[in-house]
Structure 1
Amino acid sequence: MKKSWLIHPFLLASAPILFLLAHNIGQVEASAALAPLGVVLSVTAVLLGLTWLVLRQLPRAAMLVSLLVGLFYVYGHVFHAIQDLDVIARTRDLHVGLGLVFLGVLVTGARYILRTRHDLMEPSRFLTLLAGISILFSANGIYQGVRTRAALAGERAPQARPSRVEHDDPALPDVYHIILDGYAREDVLKDVYQFDNSGFTQYLRDRGFFVADRSVSNYPLTFMSVASTLNMRYLDDVVARLDADSKDHTPFYDLIHDHAVGRFFQSKGYRYVHFNTNYGGTETSRIADQSYQFRHPLLQNEFTTVLLRTYLHWMPQPSVADLHLYMLDKLEEVPRIEGPTYTLFHLLMPHNPYVFDRHGNIRANIPLEYQWTLKTGGWAARQQYIEQMIYLNGRIQALIEHILATSKHPPIIIVHGDHGSASTHPGLQVLDKSKWGPFIHERTAILNAYYVPDEVRRHLYPSITPVNSFRLLLKHRFGANLEPLEDRSFITWYEKPFDIMEVTDQVLPAKASQAREQP
C-alpha cells in the first residue's frame, strides 16, 4: 500500500477548518486559521502515533483516527440540528443521549476496522480523495477572498508605525474614546421604549459634558460606523469597490485595526491603549502600544469563536457577562498609566445579548462563543434592552467619576453609540428601505457626549455626527489641519450591507444641522 494514501486523518482534521475559513474569509483574517490548524494537526499526529504503537499497523491506525476525527466534527453539527428542533429541553440530556449513539457508532466502526481482513486500501483512497477535494475547493475560496482583499487594500498602502516622540506639553490630557454599542438617543428611548433616560444625560451635563441631543450615526452597522469615526471620513470609496451583494467586512476591519485617530495621538507622544473585544473589528489592533485582553488572543477572535461554538460547545467557557465585567473593571486602571494615553474602549453593551438586569445581576449566563447567536430576545426584547442599559448607565457614571478623580490633568472623554437600537426593524418582509421610516429614525439616533476643553466645546453643536468628533477635537485642541465634513447619515442592513441609501434629509433637518451652541 502506498503510504501517501494514509494522510487522510490529517486531511479530514484540516478540511472543516479550511471550509469555515473559506466561507468567512470576508470577515476574518486568513491567519486566524493557523492556530486551530496547528492544534488539530498536532492532536491528530499524537492520536495516530499512539494508535500505531498499540496496533503496529499503520493502515488500521489511520482509519481509526479518521473515524475519531469524523465523529468529533459531526457531533457538533448533529447536536445543533437536534437542539434547533427543540425536542429535548435539557442540554445535558441531549448530550447523554447523543453521546451514547456516537459511542455505539465508534465501537461498531472500530470493531470492523480491527477485525476486517481487507487491507483498507479502497476506503483510505476514498477518504483521502474526498478530503483532498474539499480542501482544494476551500483553498480556492480562501485564495479568491485574499486576492480581493488585497486589491481593495491596494490604495491604502501599509503605513509605518509612527515613531514615539517626546511631548512638549506637560499637561497633555488623557483621551478616552468610549463606544457603547447600540446606545440609542434619549428621545428614541422615550418614544419607542417609553423609557426616560434624562437622569443619565442630565448627569453628563452636570459633570460638564456637552450632550449632542440631535446626533445621529453616520452608518448603521458597527464595522462601517467605527471605521468612519476612527478615520474621520466617509467610506464611499471603500463601498464603491465592493459588489452590492458582498458581505466582506475586512476592508473596514483593516481601517479599524490601523486607524488615523490612533496614529495621530501616537505621533504626539501618546500611548495608545486598546481594549480587545470579541468582535472582529475591535478584537485586536495592529498599532496599539498596550492592549487589555480578556483571554488568549488565539481564543478571543471571531473565527475561533465559531469553531468553539460548533465543535467544543460542551466545554466550560467564559461568559459574555464575564467579558463585559472585565472590560469595565480594567478601564479603571488606565488613569494610572504613566504619560498621556489615548484609549479605545468599545463595549458591546447595551447591545444584545441581554445578560444583566438593572441591578447588575446576571440574568443570562451566555457562553462567549454564543455572543452573536443567542440574542435573548434580540432587539425586540425592549424591556431587557432597557434593563441592561440602566445597569450600564450606573457603571459608566462610576467610571467617569473615577477617571475625573484620578486623572493628573483634566481628561478628554467622548462617549457615544456606534448606532442606535433596532426594535422597529421591519424584517425581510419590507425590502424597500424608503419604507423603513420608524426604523431609520431609531437606528440612526445615538447617544453622543463630549467632555472636552472650552476651545473645543464652543465648536460643538447638537447634531454633530461621529465623523466630525475627532476632526474638531484634533483641530482645536491639538492644532491639526482638519476641517469639519458635512454631517451625513446612511441606512442599510446586514443582508446587503453595501446597498446603501442616504437618509441625511430625514434624520438631520437643516435647522438642527446648522445649530451651534454658543460658548
Structure 2
Amino acid sequence: MTIKERFQAFGQLLRGIPIGWILPVLVASYPIVYLYSQNVQIVSCSQLVLPLSIAWAGSLILWAIFSLITKDTKKGGVISAVFVVFFFAYGHMFDWVTAVSALDLRHRHFLPITLFIAGYIGYFIAIAKKPELLKNVFKVSCVAVAFLLVVNIVPIIPAELQKSQMSIHQSSNSTGSTPGTTGSVADYPDIYYIVLDEYSSFETLETVWGYDNSEFKDFLESKGFFVAENSRTHYTSTIVVVPSILNMKPITNLHHVNDRLELISLINDNQAMKSLSKEGYTTVAIGMHTISPDINILSDYRFDYQDCSDNELFIDGFHWILVDMTTIRPFSYIFEPQIVDRIDKLRISRLYDLKKLTELSEVPSPKFVYAHILLPHEPFIFDNEGNKIDWNDISNYRDKNIYLEQLIFTTRNIEVIIDSLLKQYPEDDPPIIIIQSDHGLRHHDGVSEYMPEDEPYKVLNAFLLSHYDYQGLDDNIPPIEVLPLVIEHYINKTVQQSGD
C-alpha cells in the first residue's frame, strides 16, 4: 500500500467516527480552563484533572443518551452542549436572578425551572427539520468554543513554564542558606518578626468597629514596645506586602505588581534572610504556606503544619468555586462533613503556627524568625475563647462580631507568646520582637458600606527594641522601615565597631 493510499484509508476511518461528541466536550472544558487561566498563578495544573475528568465523562454520557434518542450524533452533540451550558451557568444565573428580583428564590424553585428551560430548548433542537442548518450550528459552535479555549490556554503556558523554573531553582537551593561568620554574632539579638494577617489598626477598630483595643496597646507598652499608632502600609495585598518587608524596600521593579509568581520568587529568595545569614544568623520561617503553597522560602528552618491524615479533602478552593458555578450547588450540603473536617485542620494549623513561636530554643542564636499567622484573617474558625464557630460563618464579614472575636482570640495568644518569649531571655537583654499586620481589614462583601476607603492601609505596627531610644521615632513609621532600622542599629553598627 502506497503512502497516498494509507492517507486515504486513514481519512475514511476518521469519516466513519462520529464527531458529535466534540462540541459538548469542548463546552464542558471551557469554564474549567477559563477559571484556571484566571487563577493560574495560585493553583496547580494537577487541580484540573478531577474537574476535567468529571466534565468530559458527564458530557460524553449526555451525548450518548441524546444521540440515541434523536438517532443523530450531531444533533445529540448540540442538545448535550445546551445542557452543559446550563449546568455550568447555573450558579451565575441564580446569583443574578436573586440580585435583581425581590422574590425569595430558593434552589428548589430555580433548579427545576433551569432544567425545564434547557429541556425545552433541547426539544426544539430534537424536532428541527433542517439538517444543514444544524450542521452549520454545530461547526460554528465547535470553532467558536475551540477559539475561546485556545485564547485561555495561551497565557497558561508561560505561567506554567515560570512555575517549573521556580521549582527547579527552589530544589537546587532546598537546603536553605548557610549561616556565615562575618559579624560578632555574640552581640547580635534574636529577632522575631510576627505578621498578623488582616489585623486592623487601633483607630479602625475604635471608629469603624466600635471596639476599644487599648488594653492590647497598654500591654505592649508595658512590655517596652513602641506602638506606631498612625502607621500605614504601602499595599493592601499580602502577596505584595511580604516581599516588600523581606526585601526591605517597596515593590516597584515589576511590570505588574500583581505578578504573583515573581512576587513569590522575591519571598523565597529574599534580601533580609540573605543579609542576616551572612552575619551569622540562623533563619527561620513559620506559616509561609498559609500565604501560598508555592512558597518555599530559603531559610535554615521552615515550619509549616503538615496534615498527615488519610482523609484528604478533595474539594479545595478551586474545586469549590466550580461546584458553586454548577447545578451541584443546591446539593453542596453533601460536602458539609468535609468542610467541617477541613475547618478542624485549619484550626490545628493556626494553633501550630502560634505555638511554634515559643518552641525555638533549640534553634541556634542569633536567629531571625519570620512568622506569618493567618489570623484574624478569614476563614473565621475561632470565637474569642478559641472555640469552634458555625462553619457557615467562616467568611461572614456582615456580622462584625465574627471578625472581632477571632481578632480578640488572636490578641490573647500574641500576649501569651510575648510573655513566653520574654521569659526565655535575660530581663536586661530581651529579643527584638516586631508585631505587625500586613494590611488592615479590607473591603469585603458586607464591610464596604460602613468602612472608609483608606482603612485597609492602616495597620498594627509595634516593636520591642532593647536599649533603643524611641524618642526619635514617629508614630507613623511604615512597617517596611522597621527591619532596616533594626539591621542598621544592631547589625551594621556592631560590624563598624568591630572594624574600628
**Mapped partners of 1:422, 1:53: distance in 2:** 49
Which of 389, 412, 416 is the equivalent residue of 1:394?
A: 412
Specify the structure having the higher radius of gyration (Cα): 2
Given that 1:270 and 1:339 are in contact with CA atoms closer than 8 Å, whether structure 2 keeps it comes out as no
- TM-score w.r.t. the length of structure 1 is 0.64
Query: What secondary structure is seen at the aligned counterpart in 1 of 2:21?
Result: helix
* Deviations, residues 220-260 of structure 1 (Å, cap 9, x unaligned): 5544433321210023343xx45xxx976665455345533
Query: What secondary structure is seen at the aligned counterpart in 2 of 1:199?
Result: helix
Given that 1:258 and 1:285 are in contact with CA atoms closer than 8 Å, whether structure 2 keeps it comes out as no
**Mapped partners of 1:266, 1:58: distance in 2:** 70
Given that 1:13 and 1:40 are in contact with CA atoms closer than 8 Å, whether structure 2 keeps it comes out as no
Query: What secondary structure is seen at the aligned counterpart in 2 of 1:414?
Result: strand
Query: What secondary structure is seen at the aligned counterpart in 1 of 2:435?
Result: strand
Query: What secondary structure is seen at the aligned counterpart in 2 of 1:32?
Result: coil
Which of 109, 119, 137 is the equivalent residue of 1:97?
A: 109
Task: Tell me the CA shift for residue 132 of structure 1.
Answer: 0.8
Tell which deviates more after alignment, 326-335 or 160-169.
160-169
Task: Say yes or no: does 1:272 pair with 2:279.
Answer: no
Give the superposed CA RMSD: 5.3
Tell which deviates more after alignment, 389-398 or 407-416.
407-416
From the superposition, tell whether residues 94 and 468 of structure 1 become closer, same or farther in structure 2 (CA, over 3 Å): same
Q: 2:46 aligns to what?
A: 35
2:111 counterpart letter in structure 1: G
From the superposition, tell whether residues 339 and 18 of structure 1 become closer, same or farther in structure 2 (CA, over 3 Å): same
Which of 462, 465, 470 is the equivalent residue of 2:478?
A: 465
Task: Say yes or no: does 1:448 pair with 2:461.
Answer: yes
**Mapped partners of 1:36, 1:480: distance in 2:** 50
1:339 counterpart letter in structure 2: V
1:18 counterpart letter in structure 2: V
Mapping of residues 120-519 of structure 1, within 5 Å: 124-139=138-153, 161=173, 163-165=176-178, 176-187=192-203, 189-190=205-206, 195-238=211-254, 241-242=255-256, 251-252=262-263, 254-256=265-267, 258-264=269-275, 268-277=281-290, 282=292, 284-287=294-297, 289-292=302-305, 306-311=321-326, 313=329, 314=332, 315-316=335-336, 318=339, 325-331=347-353, 332-333=355-356, 335-336=358-359, 339=363, 344-350=370-376, 358-359=384-385, 365-366=391-392, 371=395, 375-376=397-398, 386-401=404-419, 412-421=432-441, 442-454=455-467, 462-477=475-490
**Mapped partners of 2:147, 2:343: distance in 1:** 41
Given that 1:474 and 1:482 are in contact with CA atoms closer than 8 Å, whether structure 2 keeps it comes out as no
2:435 counterpart letter in structure 1: V
Query: What secondary structure is seen at the aligned counterpart in 2 of 1:236?
Result: coil
Given that 2:350 and 2:374 are in contact with CA atoms closer than 8 Å, whether structure 1 keeps it comes out as no
Given that 2:247 and 2:266 are in contact with CA atoms closer than 8 Å, whether structure 1 keeps it comes out as yes
Given that 2:225 and 2:465 are in contact with CA atoms closer than 8 Å, whether structure 1 keeps it comes out as yes
Given that 1:225 and 1:418 are in contact with CA atoms closer than 8 Å, whether structure 2 keeps it comes out as yes
Given that 2:236 and 2:442 are in contact with CA atoms closer than 8 Å, whether structure 1 keeps it comes out as no
Q: 2:30 aligns to what?
A: 15
From the superposition, tell whether residues 269 and 189 of structure 1 become closer, same or farther in structure 2 (CA, over 3 Å): closer
From the superposition, tell whether residues 439 and 112 of structure 1 become closer, same or farther in structure 2 (CA, over 3 Å): closer
**Mapped partners of 1:481, 1:66: distance in 2:** 71
Task: Tell me the CA shift for residue 134 of structure 1.
Answer: 1.7
Given that 2:422 and 2:430 are in contact with CA atoms closer than 8 Å, whether structure 1 keeps it comes out as yes
Q: 1:501 aligns to what?
A: none
Query: What secondary structure is seen at the aligned counterpart in 2 of 1:165?
Result: coil
Q: 1:69 aligns to what?
A: 84
Task: Tell me the CA shift for residue 85 of structure 1.
Answer: 4.0
- TM-score w.r.t. the length of structure 2 is 0.66
2:142 counterpart letter in structure 1: T
From the superposition, tell whether residues 50 and 445 of structure 1 become closer, same or farther in structure 2 (CA, over 3 Å): closer
Task: Tell me the CA shift for residue 285 of structure 1.
Answer: 0.8
* Deviations, residues 306-353 of structure 1 (Å, cap 9, x unaligned): 445434652436379767634431121454465357554444544578
Query: What secondary structure is seen at the aligned counterpart in 2 of 1:131?
Result: helix
**Mapped partners of 1:405, 1:286: distance in 2:** 31
* Deviations, residues 134-188 of structure 1 (Å, cap 9, x unaligned): 2133345657x969x98xx9xxxx7873754257769997754322234344355
**Mapped partners of 1:297, 1:230: distance in 2:** 32
Given that 1:167 and 1:269 are in contact with CA atoms closer than 8 Å, whether structure 2 keeps it comes out as no
Task: Say yes or no: does 1:82 pair with 2:97.
Answer: yes
* Deviations, residues 410-460 of structure 1 (Å, cap 9, x unaligned): 76532112234579xxx999xxxxxx9x865x5544321224554798997
Tell me the percent identity. Answer: 22
* Number of residue equivalences: 442
Given that 1:353 and 1:375 are in contact with CA atoms closer than 8 Å, whether structure 2 keeps it comes out as no
**Mapped partners of 2:493, 2:84: distance in 1:** 57
Query: What secondary structure is seen at the aligned counterpart in 2 of 1:292?
Result: coil
1:395 counterpart letter in structure 2: N
Given that 1:179 and 1:346 are in contact with CA atoms closer than 8 Å, whether structure 2 keeps it comes out as yes
Given that 2:347 and 2:381 are in contact with CA atoms closer than 8 Å, whether structure 1 keeps it comes out as no
Given that 2:79 and 2:125 are in contact with CA atoms closer than 8 Å, whether structure 1 keeps it comes out as yes
Tell which deviates more after alignment, 10-19 or 173-182.
173-182
Task: Tell me the CA shift for residue 202 of structure 1.
Answer: 1.9
* Deviations, residues 386-415 of structure 1 (Å, cap 9, x unaligned): 554333322322344455568999765321
From the superposition, tell whether residues 49 and 78 of structure 1 become closer, same or farther in structure 2 (CA, over 3 Å): closer
* Deviations, residues 175-220 of structure 1 (Å, cap 9, x unaligned): 5432223434435544565543221122223344343345332345
**Mapped partners of 1:406, 1:105: distance in 2:** 69
